[in-house]
Structure 1
Amino acid sequence: MEAALKNQIGGLNLNRSDWRLVKFGDVAIQQKKTVDRENTDLTRYVKGEHMYSEDLHLREWGELQDEYLGPAFIRKFEEGDILYGSRRTYLRKVAIAPFDGITSNTTFVVKANEELIDRDLLPFIMLSEGFSQHSIRNSKGSVNPYVNWKDLASYEFLLPPKDWHKEIIEIFAEADRYRELTKVVCGKAKSVLRTILEEKVTNLNEKGFSRACLRDLIQIKHGFPFKSEYWSDDDGQLPIVVTIGNYDYEGGFRFFDTKIKCYSGDYPEDYKLNPGDLLLAMTCQTPGGEILGIPGIIEDKDRLYLHNQRMGKVEVINKNIVTLEYLYLLFLTDDFRRFLFSSASGTKVLHTSPSKISEYEFFLPPLAYQQSVVNEYKQVEKVVRGALSLENNQGHMFKSLVNQVF
């Protein structure tokens, strides 16, 4: 599949002599139908957070009875309409509605002017780099920038003759199908990981294992408050300060798509990290506290990493009883997460502490069992990482394809 997509990209040699310059407002129509939520048959709503960056597929939504919605949620959309996040447009949120529903007035509801453009081509144009950069440049405000429809409508681009549209759509759709297939594989592998955690780490009450408390097994060491004036961008040589922003929501660290902070000042030697060191996020500023308590293991052997404050380094007291790799899996379980949130302090910023974490109790299996579960988890995790890498590559190819045309 990937080879076929590369051939399609490499084979594009478009003659644009008969393409014509149009404005986005010529081919796109903003919909402003409103809904009385107290008197409607519509049951679903879409928030900005339900839409993912550069993903035309709407994968989440809410039901009207789920929660209170503010007065801004009055905009009606219909199946096939395009939803566009007008706030923080650098997030590039464009989604095709799979049903009729309600959204807020800060989400533009867009229909294609089908006299000029095929309805299925318009969302791909809205994902193009030219459209995105125009939207970003014309956004107003600094904290929560937004774009007005009239500014969006002024975007100019070359539109191919209409008899080209179906062929171009099919190429784009095929590239999107490749990405979707990879997402399915990745999703199934992640589901297996969750099953391993649930059945082989959490639900051990019938296996005859004794219970243990973390305070008898581990110590947690806080990180060092590295001075911000010595932080710098990555130059490939300086040590990397591992921050809360480097955590992956599903466990582990990300240093490939997040901003890397390096350190040029002096620091105590005790705060150097070694491959295999396990860190826990001790605080979280995101609205749902998703990062709080998430574990990560240092894997890179080629760079020096530093232990920053607000992260706890987990050290095992007796390695003949429990391993760090097994504790990593334990910290990923829903049971541990529920315990952590029940004892966390703070409202906007959630905090935990070594003393709170140390009170967690669980069934402790023997080392042989621990290692077998760790090995099984690692094998499935390799599949997930491979699928994520493939998905990332296909995403780049998809963007390249769209930008070569528009």
Structure 2
Amino acid sequence: MPKYRFEDIAFNITQKRKPTSDDMKTYIGLEHLDSGSLSVTRWGSNVPIKGDKLLMQKGDVLFGKRNAYLRRAAIAPHDGLFSAHGMILRPNEKVISRKLFPFFICSDYFFDAAIRISVGSLSPTINWSALKELEFKLPDINEQEKLAELLWAANNTKEAYKKLLYLTDELVKSQFIEMFKNGNYPTVRASEVCNFITKGTTPPTNEIKTRPEQDSIPYLKVYNLSFDGRLLFHEEPQYISRQIHEGKLARSIVYPNDVLMNIVGPPLGKFALVEDEYPEWNINQAIAIFRAKEQVLPKFLLQALMQPDVLQPFLEKAVGIRQLNLSLEQCRDLEFPLPPLEHQQRFVEFAQQTDKSKFELKQNIDNLETTIKALMVENFG
């Protein structure tokens, strides 16, 4: 297969303009891109957008050049503005198929090479001056078109499963509302039903490892949390040593049944419930831990905190311009209705039944992602 410099494969679109108030509804930031997904499913900003932003067109590939290890790239769903911490890429159709181009950008083949040239320690960033010099092998256009057909078939099926997964989560939320919205239950503050509400401590950069070493502990960050309360692992987590985990980062240890919520963003309002299969983790200072007392079940607590009428007034208290922050005091003051334990248990049993369906859906999604990666490896190496 012939080799091409990346500047011959893709055009880097650098046109910018200042945002207006109308752009707030359609703006896409890096926080709207999900690792491993070509689809953008949310957009918009609740705070004024500052500084010049990139001008995107529907169908462009949006590439997260900042913190590139998160492997964020997706297809623009509409015209509008995109974060200046990203790149807007368009294919040179003389060299690469338009249909194949998004998969190429999302592939390990491309990202592995791009990540190697990222610069900076706190927020590693990829510069176009270095990226354009990278060389990649490509099959001929006819082979690319055939490959793109297979990849889109697999991707569309994967997206259908993801939609079912989303609808299953929505069913759980609907059941929660139906059971508890109009129950006239007493309102409690989070601090009254949690033994422990604190936030993590970010370890020094030189203590964070990208691969497990002897006696190391996984280290969770905001991108491992989600808007539906699941822990996400699109890639291997980072790690810290057990010594630092049990020493100066002891308050950052999370345990099964802890509810996690990010308090630094954007975005804000991401959650996770730590399940039994994750016995030891550590978190950074962008995440708060809620550890439930006996009168509240963790799965109930998770859903209670995620309810829009509980969460939205809380998020509106965030302060900051480029970075939004919520305090632990604000976390402790979160209020929600608390039904008796037997009522909570009925909801938890319902949620556990749906978990079985979600597990099968996730397996199907994982299998399709494996198929997509295998096709890319077979054709690109």
Q: So what's the TM-score if we normalise by structure 2?
A: 0.74
Q: Determine the structure 1 residue equivalent to 2:11.
A: 29
Q: Determine the structure 2 residue equivalent to 1:134.
A: 113
Question: Does 340-349 or 51-60 show the bigger shift?
Answer: 340-349
| Secondary structure class of the residue paired with 1:45 | coil
Provide the rounded CA distance (Å) in 2 between the counterparts of 1:38 and 1:243.
36
Larger Rg, first or second structure (1 or 2): 1
Unaligned 5+ segments in structure 1 are 1-18
Q: Determine the structure 1 residue equivalent to 2:71.
A: 92
Provide the rounded CA distance (Å) in 2 between the counterparts of 1:104 and 1:150.
19
What RMSD, in angstroms, separates the aligned Cα atoms of the two structures? 4.6
For residues 22-64 of structure 1, what are the alpha-carbon distances to aligned partners after superposition, in whole Å with 9 as ceiling and x for unaligned? 222222222334446579999843222222223222223338x
Q: Determine the structure 1 residue equivalent to 2:276.
A: 299
Q: CA deviation at 1:298?
A: 5.1
State which of 324, 334, 352 in structure 1 corresponds to 2:328: 352
Provide the rounded CA distance (Å) in 1 between the counterparts of 2:348 and 2:363.
22
Aligned length: 365
Q: Residues 241 and 308 of structure 1 are in contact (CA less than 8 Å); yes or no, is this contact kept in structure 2?
A: no
| Secondary structure class of the residue paired with 1:146 | coil
Provide the rounded CA distance (Å) in 2 between the counterparts of 1:349 and 1:182.
34
Provide the rounded CA distance (Å) in 1 between the counterparts of 2:219 and 2:61.
39
Q: Residues 82 and 110 of structure 1 are in contact (CA less than 8 Å); yes or no, is this contact kept in structure 2?
A: yes
Q: CA deviation at 1:189?
A: 0.5
Percent identity of the aligned residues?
21
Q: Are positions 1:388 and 2:362 aligned together?
A: yes
Q: Residues 292 and 301 of structure 2 are in contact (CA less than 8 Å); yes or no, is this contact kept in structure 1?
A: no
Q: Which amino acid aligns with 2:143?
A: W
Assess, with a 3 A threshold, how the Cα gap between structure 1 residues 378 and 98 changes in structure 2: closer, same or farther.
same
Provide the rounded CA distance (Å) in 2 between the counterparts of 1:220 and 1:138.
45
Q: Which amino acid aligns with 1:143?
A: L
1:226-305 equivalences under 5 Å are 248-249=225-226, 250-251=228-229, 258-259=237-238, 263=242, 278-281=257-260, 284-290=263-269, 296=273, 299-300=276-277
| Secondary structure class of the residue paired with 2:258 | strand
1:147-186 equivalences under 5 Å are 147-186=126-165
State which of 92, 101, 105 in structure 2 corresponds to 1:113: 92
Q: Determine the structure 2 residue equivalent to 1:4.
A: none
Provide the rounded CA distance (Å) in 2 between the counterparts of 1:180 and 1:168.
18
Assess, with a 3 A threshold, how the Cα gap between structure 1 residues 246 and 203 changes in structure 2: closer, same or farther.
farther
Q: CA deviation at 1:356?
A: 4.0
Assess, with a 3 A threshold, how the Cα gap between structure 1 residues 349 and 380 changes in structure 2: closer, same or farther.
same
For residues 367-397 of structure 1, what are the alpha-carbon distances to aligned partners after superposition, in whole Å with 9 as ceiling and x for unaligned? 2x43322221221232223323332332233
State which of 127, 131, 145 in structure 1 corresponds to 2:124: 145
Assess, with a 3 A threshold, how the Cα gap between structure 1 residues 283 and 78 changes in structure 2: closer, same or farther.
closer
For residues 171-197 of structure 1, what are the alpha-carbon distances to aligned partners after superposition, in whole Å with 9 as ceiling and x for unaligned? 111121121111111011011111112
Q: Residues 258 and 289 of structure 2 are in contact (CA less than 8 Å); yes or no, is this contact kept in structure 1?
A: yes
1:334-349 equivalences under 5 Å are 334-337=308-311, 349=325
Q: Which amino acid aligns with 1:80?
A: G
Q: Residues 27 and 113 of structure 1 are in contact (CA less than 8 Å); yes or no, is this contact kept in structure 2?
A: yes
Q: CA deviation at 1:290?
A: 3.0
Provide the rounded CA distance (Å) in 2 between the counterparts of 1:62 and 1:307.
28
For residues 105-131 of structure 1, what are the alpha-carbon distances to aligned partners after superposition, in whole Å with 9 as ceiling and x for unaligned? 443222222223222222222222232
Q: Residues 318 and 324 of structure 2 are in contact (CA less than 8 Å); yes or no, is this contact kept in structure 1?
A: no
Provide the rounded CA distance (Å) in 2 between the counterparts of 1:279 and 1:328.
9
Q: Determine the structure 2 residue equivalent to 1:400.
A: 374
State which of 172, 186, 196 in structure 2 corresponds to 1:211: 186
Provide the rounded CA distance (Å) in 2 between the counterparts of 1:261 and 1:402.
32
Q: Are positions 1:68 and 2:44 aligned together?
A: no
Q: Residues 66 and 85 of structure 2 are in contact (CA less than 8 Å); yes or no, is this contact kept in structure 1?
A: yes
Q: Which amino acid aligns with 2:292?
A: V
Unaligned 5+ segments in structure 2 are none
| Secondary structure class of the residue paired with 1:56 | coil
For residues 236-287 of structure 1, what are the alpha-carbon distances to aligned partners after superposition, in whole Å with 9 as ceiling and x for unaligned? 989x7997879844446679954466746989xxx9x999x74345884444
